[in-house]
Amino acid sequence: MTTSNKYAPWPPATVTAVADVLADTNEGLTGGEVDLLLAEIGIADAEGSSKRKRLAQALLVRQARDQASNCVIKFITEAMAPVRYRQHPDVFSRRRDDLNEVLVHVGLRVNNEGKVARGPAASTLDEAAQHANSLRSELRRRGTHPEVLAYCTKEILAKNAFHASLEATKSVFDRLRQLTGERLDGARLLDAVLMSGSTGTPRVAINTGATKTEEDEQKGFAALIKGLGSMYRNPTAHDPRLHRPVTDDELLELLTTLSMVHRRLDHARVAP
C-alpha cells in the first residue's frame, strides 16, 4: 500500500495492538528507536508511562488529526524495513507474524518486503490465527506448553520445521533428566525413569499405579515418548534434511503431542 492515498482510520484497539507489538517490552523496538522513527516520519511524540503507550498515543493523535491511518501504515513500513533486520532475520519474522495477527482484523498484512499490503480479513481470534498464516499464532491458540516453545521457537521463526521437530523432541528427554538428575539418554533414560524396574515404582510416575489400567497407562506413556524419539529425534539427528521433509501441519501435530507429554510431566510424581 502506498501512503500517497488516504486510508480510513483504524479502530483505536488495532492501533494500540500495533504499538504493543512494535514497542513490546522484551521483543520490540527500544525507546530510542521509537523516538527516532517517529521523528523520521514527522509524528510528534506523546506522553505515556511506557514506550508502548507513548507510541500508541502518538499514532492515535496523528490519525485523529489526519482522519486517516496513513501515519500508522508509514510507521509500520519504516519499522519493518528489511534492511534493519539484516543481522537478525528471526526478529523480522517474529514481528511480522505478530503484526499480521493484528492487521488481519482490518484486512491487511505485512509482506516479505516489510510493507503493508491487502490480505484476508478476520472477525474472530480463530480466524485471525488461520489467516495470519503464522505457525506461532496457531501454537499460541492451542496453548502449547512453554517447555516445547523454549526449545524450538528460534527454528520456527527461521521457518525450519525439520530442526524445530528435532529440538522440540529433545525437550522431553532433557526435562526428564532435569527432574531426576539422570545423565542417561534415549531408551535407556526412559527405561530408567518411567518404568517400574526393581523398585516396583517408576521414578517419574504420571499416576498412582494402583490398578492394571494405570500401570498400562504408564507403560504407554513411556512407549509414546520412545516412539516420538525414534520418529523425530534419531532420524533428524542423522539424516540430511533433504531426505526428511517435515511439513508445517506435521510439525503442529508433533508439538501438540509433545505439549500433552509435558503437561502430564507437570503433574507427575518424582521419586528421590
pLDDT of residue 127: 62
User: How long a stretch of residues is the chain?
Assistant: 272
Segment 165-187, tens digit of pLDDT: 999 999 999 999 999 999 999 99
Tell me the pLDDT band of 204, cut-offs 50, 70 and 90: very high
Q: Please answer whether residues 135 and 156 qualify as being in contact, where contact means their C-beta atoms are separated by less than 8 angstroms.
A: yes
User: 32, 69, 85, 74: which is closest to 54 by C-alpha?
Assistant: 32
The answer to whether residues 60 and 71 touch, using CB atoms and an 8 Å cutoff, is: no
Mean pLDDT of all residues belonging to the chain = 89
pLDDT for residue 137 is more than 90: no
* Contact by Cβ (8 Å): 66, 57: no
Residue carrying the nine cell digits 512453554: 146
Block residue for cell numbers 528435532: 166
Question: 187-197, pLDDT tens digit by residue?
Answer: 999 999 999 87
Confidence check: pLDDT of 147 > 80: yes
Whether pTM > 0.75 for this model: the answer is: no
Domain ranges of the chain: 12-141, 146-270
Most confidently modeled range among 101-110, 156-165, 241-250: 101-110
Phi and psi of 57, rounded to 5°? Answer: -65, -40
Q: Are 35 and 80 in contact (CB under 8 A)?
A: no
Asked if residue 58 lies in contact with residue 18, where contact means CB atoms within 8 angstroms, the answer is no
Lowest-confidence pick of 80-94, 101-115, 127-141, 198-212: 127-141
Sort strands 269-270 and 204-205 into parallel, antiparallel or unpaired.
antiparallel
Between CA 67 and CA 10 the distance in angstroms is 10
Q: Of 12-16, 99-103, 112-116, 136-140, which range is least confident?
A: 136-140
User: What DSSP designation does 230 have?
Assistant: I
Grade residue 138 by pLDDT with cuts at 50, 70 and 90: confident
Cell matching residue 193: 525413569
Q: Which of these, 228, 97, 76, 86, lies nearest to 167 by C-alpha position?
A: 228
